[in-house]
Amino acid sequence: MSSAPTPETDAPPLTVGARTPESDYLDLMADLTRDYATTDDLASVHLKALGRIRDAMRVAGSSLFLLENNDSELVCHACIGPVDITGLRLPAGSGIVGRSVEKNEVQWVADVDKDPDFFSDADASSGFITRAVLAAPMSIHGRTLGAVSVVNPLAPDGEQVRQFSQRDIELMRSLASAAAMAMNNADMTRELLSRERVRQELVLAAKVQRSLLPDCSRLPANVCGISHPAREMSGDFYDVVPLPDGRLYFAVADVSGKGLNAALLMVKTTSLFRMLAKSVPEPGRLLAMLNHELCETITAGMFVTMTVGVYEPDTGRVCLSSAGHMPTLLRHAHGRFRQLSSAMPPLGILCETEDNRYPEDELLLCSGQLYLYTDGVTEGRLADGSELELEGFCRLLDELADENLHDRLESIVNRLADDSRPLRDDVTLLGLETPESRQPGLPLSFRVTAIPDRLALVRDLIHHAFAALDYPAELKDNIVLAVDEACQNIIRHAYEGQPEGEIEGSLDLSGRTLTIRLRDQAPTVPPTACNPRQSSELKPGGLGNQFINSIMDKVYFETINDSQQRHSGNCLVMLKEL
């Protein structure tokens, strides 16, 4: 059983107040607060605090216990006295110290032999005799950190006396509270300093991240990118790598997740892209190689969506490949949009891909703009709280079409964020548009893969070239349809589904004579293959030559010299007097 405190009048004549002036206690509390706040060496400051408490209270020893392991254990972190019990571990709630913590009350035991909770193992192993214990909980804001305990009060001559006084109890309570406050304030200060260090490191890391973005002022005027992070660090990136032959390798990517892990993965992906772009000309193969590298080291659950492409400024040809990224938008000069997307998964999910490459798309950027972006754009919120979405993004691009490319991208970001409305997610945009030097008109040349879905690009390209010609719209539309039909014949009949074929085209206007040439690499066809058939010989689907000849004034196959071309191939010539 613990002994109840006796009134101060029952205490021996020697009282704490007589030993140390009250002002010294206040100084002691101030010193404890200062010591805990000005050092990171907690072990030394614990010992210093216990030494001050021991001297102030004139006791044989003092110790500091703190709760650990989810408050399941009391651990002695410091000890001053004849026996060092530093490191002693007790189950929370055991012993006199544990009772003080559990009840959140000062525990005064005048005779430990009469207290069943007294932990006597330390005395048994050291030979020290504990007679009286005073333990006070260290609590602040409803949270108990641990307890301070002192043992065996001493008389001025160093001899032990039998009891602590009421003044000792009050002083112990005050010192324990002061220690708790000092430790809590020190923890808060260290946490704030740690956060500030982390913040400064994040600011530095963000600067490093931004330095990895390309300098658009050194790129052609028709290429521009912009990236705005929602926080200090970003998981988005874009890049443009000029190649020695004048082509541009470009990419936009979005790393899953937020924070430092996503930012580090972004840096790795950027570095790998730049390295591979200099030696791997095919975007689909580059993505497959990048995917293989990321699969070896990527953290479980993380992935990267990415679109990469190669742009030939001289011809306007673009080759794209995508890994789970947002659809690429092609906006034609007349305002029509086309989406290019891929069903392939993001990088870092499947280690192997078919034929070690991702699928590729080709297009001709000769009459509009190409936009790559992250989901922070379409999922961004406007001033009224609604999401922009893809349809709204297209409307904005139409609305801002007259602005230069950089201002256009900046205006879109400004629609998604302002001082009162921070970004919800990182926003990244990359735009490529037709150079100003490539104005509508003839001559015109192009080269496309011989597959049906490339023909829309050929039609758009010719429409753009014809925009400068002052001829009836119906006439120009008919010529475009004739070229489209001739290309379909090449794909269906000349190549017969061969996957590697190409169509090279040219349009030239001399006086009023329009000359159109379409070259292929297919086996040679007979010269009569372009002649119209008699109506009795026509079959379903066989009206193509009839249609072409009805529009054009002359259609024939031009002889290809082996010295100039391949051992096989055809050149279809179509003439039209305008």
What domains sit in the chain, N to C, each tagged with a CATH number? 8-189 (3.30.450.40), 213-433 (3.60.40.10), 444-577 (3.30.565.10)
Measure Cα distances from 536 to 402, 404, 420, 529, 532 in Å: 54, 57, 74, 17, 11
Choose among 517, 576, 534, 568: nearest CA to 552. 576
pLDDT tens per residue across span 120-143: 888 888 888 899 999 999 998 888
- 260-264 mean pLDDT: 82
Specify the DSSP element, H or E, that contains 574.
Answer: strand 570-577
Identify the three-state secondary structure at position 491.
helix
Pair type for strands 89-91 and 107-109: unpaired
Band (36; pLDDT cuts 50, 70, 90): low
Angle, CA 224 vertex, CA 221 and CA 225 arms, to 5°: 170
Choose among 285, 328, 271: nearest CA to 305. 328
- In terms of pLDDT, which residue wins out, 181 or 442? 442
**Residue whose pair of structure tokens reads 């026509």 in the numeric block:** 538
d(CA 576, CA 281): 39
pLDDT tens per residue across span 540-567: 445 778 889 999 999 999 876 644 444 5
d(CA 250, CA 432): 10
**Residue whose pair of structure tokens reads 């804001």 in the numeric block:** 141
Q: Identify the pLDDT of residue 40.
A: 63
pLDDT tens per residue across span 322-337: 999 999 999 977 678 9
Residues in the chain: 578
* Encoded amino acid at 449, one letter: T
How large a percentage of the chain has pLDDT more than 70? 87
- In terms of pLDDT, which residue wins out, 162 or 268? 268
Lowest mean pLDDT segment, chosen from 178-187, 311-320, 480-489: 178-187
Distance of CA 31 to the CA centre of its chain: 46
Q: Identify the pLDDT of residue 559.
A: 78
Band (478; pLDDT cuts 50, 70, 90): very high
Q: Identify the pLDDT of residue 12.
A: 36
Tokens at 274, concatenated: 């730049």
d(CA 463, CA 442): 11
Q: Identify the pLDDT of residue 287.
A: 96
Measure Cα distances from 259 to 33, 206, 230, 407, 427 in Å: 35, 11, 10, 29, 15
d(CA 574, CA 578): 13
Angle, CA 328 vertex, CA 495 and CA 285 arms, to 5°: 60
pLDDT tens per residue across span 490-499: 998 889 867 6
Taking the model in full, what pTM does it have? 0.60
Identify the three-state secondary structure at position 372.
strand
Mean pLDDT computed over every residue of the chain: 84
